[in-house]
Every structure is written in structure tokens, then in C-alpha cells.
Amino acid sequence: MLRFALGMVFFLLGMMAKSQTISLDFEATGTAGHLDEVEVVNLMTGSRVSVFSGENLLLGAVGVDCQADKSTDIVVSADGAAGGCDIAFWTNRPGYVFLRISDATGRLVVDEDRELPRGQHQVRVSALKRGAHKVHLMTPQSEHTHWIRSDKSSSASHPDVTWISINDKNTGHQKSSVALPHAVGERLLLKGMAGEMVHYLSLVPEKDSILVFQFVACVDGDENHYATVEIGGRLWMAENLRTTRLRTGEVLLEVQSNTTWRDTAMPAYCWYQHNAHHQYQYGALYNWYAVSEAGFCPAGWRLPTDQDWLALEKEIDPAIDVTSATGWRGKDGALKMKAQQGWDILNGSNQYGFSALPAGRRSNEGHFNSLGAYAYWWTASSTDELNAWSRYILPDYDYLYRGNFSKNYGFSVRCILVGD
């Protein structure tokens, strides 16, 4: 009996530990003084929510009420005797809600909009003229059209429309909490957004905290803005570069001919298979002569050296203990760097927000291959006059490869903040 009682005590203690609730607040620093939104993903379960200004994140055990799981249905309840209807709806994000009501002839009798916070809302419509009416409501995440009939002989010149917000959690100056299912030890990836700037954080929460997003401008010569991520105390670009010009405005040479690509010993770039649409997902492919140019990376950023990549690898994969080794090294660094979607074989866990995608390559002979399967990046470190260090990921391996390639290959590029 004593053994059973002790077992129950340990079981309950374990359940209490797993059901620990943690509150996270968010702040912005650097170029942005505010946060528009934070998208949060539980990398273990895939659950996700968005947190907006004036809200905090409440992490709890699996089964906790989650804002993202609330119904997005719009329910219209007709009230013919009152000459109108009640419309109930939930908004998952703040934004404008549009209400349009027209009569059977198509004449618009109600045309209103409201900027509403996230939450449960209701619109009450009455005093519509007798007859059929089409009700159309559009929220930030859904829209609904519904026909109703008014049996009321209304003499009012305009219908009566009342907007009601049901804020059961917002009282006074208290922040509303957005809940996310979470168990002790599960890692979160957080995407902070402020205007055109995006910054990622990755962590395993252990206690109530205020998380600070460090926003640093990362804008290339084409005015493209890039997401950034902090890994091991350093800021990296969280997506591949896609600039077609230096910061000075000088346009880089775009090479399509295989022969020209092979023989070019000057800065050049291309899109995979010459399809410019690939830039938005994968970025551009550059020869090493382009990435060695001053002013190639966004202002305040530089091309990472071989040593910068080594530091990144060791932070992500502690099994890399012989940093000077070439070839396949470590245990699972590539798996942790790969995005959770987008790979033909073996998606990654993206534990640190690096979000590696298989952009493929262009060989030193000018041929394209490996889109959807391989990812390659240049370093700033040359090994000799014709070759330079690089990193790459293959689909069937959990670790990264360190090797040197001809400077005429076309690889992807990530930049790192100057001073890091």
C-alpha cells in the first residue's frame, strides 16, 4: 500500500511538472520600437498562435484552450419580426471587418466597417425594409454571405446597426492572454514582425520571461528586406540573399549561357534554371567572385567566413568537436537547420530558425541540379586562387558537409551582422 501511495505521489508530481504554465511577454529593441505581431510555433507538436500588441503568451499543458483553435465560422441568425438579424463571429487577428447588406434589387442599404481587436464579436441589425436582403460579412480570416427576410414594415430611413465586442478577458488595463499547448522541454520558434522587419528567436521556455526581439535593418541593393535570426549570440540572415546589385547600385552580371558561366572570373549571378520566380523562395545563385565583392551584403552585414560557419555549426551541433575537419561532420546539425517543409526527402526540425531550403546549385560547367534536394552556401574564405570553402546539406544526411569548391560554382548566400 505504501509503495502504491508513493507511486501516486510521484505520478502527480510529474503531472504537475508537465502542466506547468509559463507566461511570456514580448518587447522590441533596435531599429523597431514596437512589435506588430509574434507568430509562435511549438516545434514539437506543430501548434501555432499569433500574439498581437497588448497580449501575452500563456504556455500550458496539452489540452489548454488555444486561440488558434477557436471557430472561424460566421453565424447569422435571422430575426424577421425585428427586420434584421444577429451576426456572431470570432476574429483570430485584429483588423478590419466589413459589413455589406443589399436588398433584392441589389441596392446597398448597409455599408459599414470597423477595426476590431482579436476576439468574439456580434453585430445586431434591425429595421430593414420588408423583403429579402443579402448579408455579406468579411473578417480578417473569413467571409460569409447569407440571405435573410424582413417581415417588418419599417419607416426608418436607415437600418439600425449595432457592433458589440465581447471582451471577457480584457478588463481595465489587464493584458489578454493567448494560450498555446506546451509541455516542459518543448522548443518554440518565435517570429517577431515590425513593419517590413522580421526577426526569429528559438528557445525552450523555463520560466515567466520578457523576450526581446532585436530588430536590425537588413536591406540589399534592390531594397529587399530580409528576416534575421539570432543563433549563439550572432545575427544571421534567416533566408537566402536575392540581390541583383551591390549597395552602390552597380548591377551584377546575370549569366544564362553555360559556357559564359564556366569561363567567367568576374562577379555573376543567376536564378535557378533562369526562372526569376525561384528568388522568392530560394534566393539567387552566385559565383564566389560576386560574394567576395565589397558592398555585396546589405549595409551593416558581411559574408560569413569559414570560422563564422564553424561557430554556427558548433552552436547547433555540439558533436562537432574537430572544427578543422572536412567532409561530413557532427551528428544532426543539418537536421536542426533544415526548414520543417520544402525538402523532397527528410524535412528538418528548424530548431534554431535558420530555415534552410534546398535551393540547389549551378555547377562550374554551368549546369543546374538538386533543387528541392540540396542546399549550398559560400563562405568568404578562399582556399586558393581557384577554390573557396563552402557548406552544404544533402537530403539523406543529418549533418553538414564542409568542403572547398571551384569559385565558378553557383551557390546560395547568407550574410552575418558586422561586429558579430
Picking from 52, 181, 207, 48, the residue whose alpha carbon sits closest to that of residue 116 is 52
d(CA 39, CA 48): 7
Residue 380 — very low, low, confident or very high, per pLDDT cuts 50/70/90? very high
Instruction: Give DSSP secondary structure letters for 164-209.
Output: EEE-SS--TTPPEEEEEE--TT--EEEEEEETTEEEEEEE---S-E
Share of the chain above pLDDT 70, in %: 90
Mean pLDDT calculated for residue range 38-66: 82
pLDDT given for residue 277 in this prediction = 95
d(CA 342, CA 357): 7
pLDDT at 51 over 80: yes
pLDDT score at 335? 94
- Please state, as a whole number, how many other Cβ atoms lie within 10 Å of the Cβ of residue 98: 13
What is the per-residue pLDDT across 197-211, written as a single tens digit (0 to 9) for each?
999 999 999 999 999
Q: Is the pLDDT of residue 195 over 70?
A: yes
The answer, yes or no, to whether residue 311 has pLDDT greater than 90, is yes
Residue 408: phi and psi, rounded to 5, are -90, 0
For residue 68, what pLDDT band results from cuts at 50, 70 and 90? very low
Give alpha helix (H) positions in 293-381.
306-316, 333-337
* pLDDT for residue 145 is more than 50: yes
* 3-state helix vs strand vs coil in the chain, percent to 5: 15, 40, 45
In this prediction, residue 172 carries a pLDDT of 44
Q: Does domain 19-62+182-215 have CATH number 1.25.40?
A: no
pLDDT at 64: 41
Where is mean pLDDT largest: 79-88, 325-334, 391-400?
Answer: 79-88
Answer yes or no: is pLDDT of 289 > 90: yes
Topology alike, domains 19-62+182-215 and 75-166: yes
User: Which residues are CB-neighbours of 159 under 8 A, at least 6 positions away?
Assistant: 83, 84, 101, 109, 110, 125, 126, 127, 128
Report the pLDDT averaged over residues 125-144. Answer: 92
Q: Which residue has the higher pLDDT, 326 or 98?
A: 98
At residue 90, the pLDDT reads 85
Per-domain residue ranges for the chain?
19-62+182-215, 75-166, 228-417
pLDDT at 166: 77
Q: CATH class for domain 75-166?
A: mainly beta
Confidence of residue 420 (pLDDT cuts 50, 70, 90): low
| 143, pLDDT greater than 70 | yes
pLDDT at residue 26, rounded to an integer: 95
Residue 80 has what DSSP assignment?
Answer: G
Q: Which long-range contacts (CB under 8 A, 24 or more apart) does 104-108 make?
A: 104/131, 104/132, 104/133
Across the chain, what does the average pLDDT equal? 88
Q: Predicted confidence band at 133 (pLDDT cuts at 50, 70, 90)?
A: very high
- Helical spans, DSSP H, in 346-414: none
Q: Residue 290: pLDDT band by 50, 70, 90 thresholds?
A: very high
- Give the closest residue to 242 by CA, choosing from 223, 258, 228: 223
Q: What is the pLDDT of residues 161-173, one digit of tens each?
A: 999 987 644 444 4
Residue 27 Cα distances to 38, 55, 145, angstroms? 10, 11, 39
Higher pLDDT: 72 or 370? It is 370
